[in-house]
């Protein structure tokens, strides 16, 4: 196993928007992880807080995987 991160979780708070000006956009943050199980653990914490998240593999990791926000619950319940 490599020590390089291969997964990311990108998330935003469903709370108050953090923005400059009146555009109302939410701030997003991204964390990287060595493996899928660590990414899932963190994503579960984010979802349990009521925040939205997406996840996936970082380039050049193959096979490339992208988990859209709508698919996060299914991904969290599936095998790592």
**What is the tens place of the pLDDT at every residue in 45-63?**
999 998 899 999 999 988 9
Integer CA distances (angstroms), 66 to 17, 51, 53, in order = 25, 18, 12
How many structural domains are present in the chain?
1
pLDDT of residue 80: 73
Integer Cα distance of 70 and 4 in angstroms: 27
1 domain residue, yes or no = no
14 domain residue, yes or no = yes
Full pLDDT tens readout for the chain, 80 residues: 568 999 999 998 655 555 555 566 667 899 999 999 999 999 999 999 988 999 999 999 889 999 999 999 999 999 87
pTM above 0.95, yes or no: no
Query: Domain span at residue 22?
Result: 7-77
31 domain residue, yes or no = yes
46 domain residue, yes or no = yes
- Judge whether 47 and 53 are in contact, CB under 8 Å: yes
Per DSSP, helices labelled H in the chain are 36-48, 72-77
11 domain residue, yes or no = yes
């Amino acid at each position: 196993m490599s020590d390089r991160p291969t997964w990311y979780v990108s998330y935003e708070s469903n709370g108050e928007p953090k923005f400059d000006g009146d555009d109302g956009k939410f701030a997003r943050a991204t964390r990287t992880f060595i493996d899928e199980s660590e990414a899932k653990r963190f994503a579960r914490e984010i979802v349990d807080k009521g925040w939205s998240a997406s996840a996936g593999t970082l380039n050049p990791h193959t096979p490339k995987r992208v988990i859209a926000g709508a698919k996060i619950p299914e991904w969290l319940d599936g095998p790592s």
